[in-house]
């Protein structure tokens, strides 16, 4: 009786042990799959990180190139502004030397009748504006030239006043105002002695504004002459077109 009972108990234990063994054997297979998945995720992350790093490096190179190009353009603009300043300073200096100022102040009447007294009054008003410019009192010089033009819109020195106002605004990098005064001179006083100078400066204004075709046409027209402005126009065309 005892023997059959022991046999039955043993038979009941064997399947339970087999079941436990099977469960234990399945655990290493599951761990291996997790490690494989983790390794794949790490590889993908590293690849993505490398791609992003390459992209950033390319963008940094592009930005560096843009900065260098802008720095070059800025240097050109600074040099042009310095050239304008030196040119204006030289012209202002000529006023105190009597060269250009005497030529300007000896300008004859423009076909209108005026008494000697009126002519002297006009000349003095223009002299006052000139003096302010020579003294580098730029804001007051602008006001004085504009007041002269308000009183003598077709006066003996109207063309010169337009030119100097254009020069001053160009030096101050106010391209719209510079364009306005140079264009007025060319439109209203086509035979003025400042015409070639105004054409050259207006050509430069157009070029800085991005109006390349009009700038080139105007500068080529000036360059065909023999004045000092013609020489400057030829040089500007060689450097920029």
Euclidean distance between CA atoms 192 and 196, whole angstroms: 9
pLDDT of residue 151: 94
- For residue 191 the two structure tokens come to 């035979």
State the greatest distance between any 2 C-alpha atoms of the chain, in Å, as a whole number.
158
Q: Does domain 72-240 have CATH number 3.40.50.720?
A: no
Q: Return the pLDDT at 58.
A: 76
State residue 211's pLDDT score: 95
Residue pLDDT, tens place only, 34-46: 555 556 667 677 7
Q: What DSSP character marks residue 110?
A: -
- Say how far apart CA 189 and CA 192 lie, in whole Å: 5
Alpha-carbon gap, residue 173 to 81, rounded angstroms: 8
- Burial class, 162, CB count within 10 angstroms (exposed 0-12 / middle 13-18 / buried 19+): buried
- For the chain, the domains span 72-240
Q: Is the dihedral of CA 121, 123, 124, 130 positive or negative?
A: positive
Quickly count helices (H) and strands (E) in the chain. 9, 0
The pLDDT value recorded for residue 103 is 46
CA 12 to chain centre: 93
Going residue by residue through the chain (241 aa), what tens digit of pLDDT does each one get?
545 544 554 454 445 444 444 444 444 455 555 555 556 667 677 777 777 777 777 778 777 777 777 777 666 665 666 566 556 655 555 544 433 444 455 444 444 445 677 788 899 999 999 899 888 899 999 999 999 999 999 999 999 999 999 999 998 889 999 999 999 999 999 999 999 999 999 999 999 999 999 999 999 999 999 999 999 999 999 999 9
Structure tokens at 166: 């254009």
Q: Write the pLDDT tens digit of every residue in 172-230.
A: 889 999 999 999 999 999 999 999 999 999 999 999 999 999 999 999 999 999 999 99
Cα four-point dihedral sign 156, 158, 164, 168: positive
Cα–Cα dist 88/81, whole Å: 10
For 69, the token pair is: 């190009």
- What are the Cα distances from residue 220, in Å, to 40, 200, 209? 68, 9, 18
What pLDDT is attached to residue 147?
96
pLDDT for position 201? 95
pLDDT at 25: 46
């Amino acid at each position: 009786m005892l023997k059959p009972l022991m046999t039955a108990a043993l038979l009941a234990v064997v399947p339970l042990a087999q079941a436990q063994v099977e469960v234990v054997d399945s655990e290493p297979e599951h761990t291996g799959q997790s490690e494989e998945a983790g390794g794949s995720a790490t590889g993908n992350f590293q690849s993505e990180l490398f791609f992003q790093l390459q992209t950033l490096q390319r963008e940094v190179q592009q930005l560096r190139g843009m900065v260098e190009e802008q720095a070059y353009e800025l240097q050109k603009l600074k040099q042009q502004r310095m050239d304008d300043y030196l040119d204006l300073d030289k012209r202002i200096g000529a006023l105190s030397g009597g060269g250009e100022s005497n030529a300007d102040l000896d300008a004859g009447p423009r076909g209108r009748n005026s008494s000697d007294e009126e002519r002297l009054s006009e000349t003095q008003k223009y002299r006052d504006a000139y003096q302010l410019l020579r003294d580098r009192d730029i804001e007051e010089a602008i006001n004085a030239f504009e007041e002269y033009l308000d009183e003598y819109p077709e006066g003996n020195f109207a063309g010169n006043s337009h030119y100097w106002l254009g020069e001053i605004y160009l030096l101050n990098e106010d391209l719209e105002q510079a364009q306005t005064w140079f264009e007025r001179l060319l439109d209203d006083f086509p035979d003025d002695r400042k015409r070639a100078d105004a054409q050259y400066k207006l050509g430069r204004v157009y070029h800085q504004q991005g109006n390349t075709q009009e700038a080139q046409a105007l500068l080529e027209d000036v360059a065909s002459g023999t004045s000092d402005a013609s020489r400057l126009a030829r040089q500007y065309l060689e450097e920029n077109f």
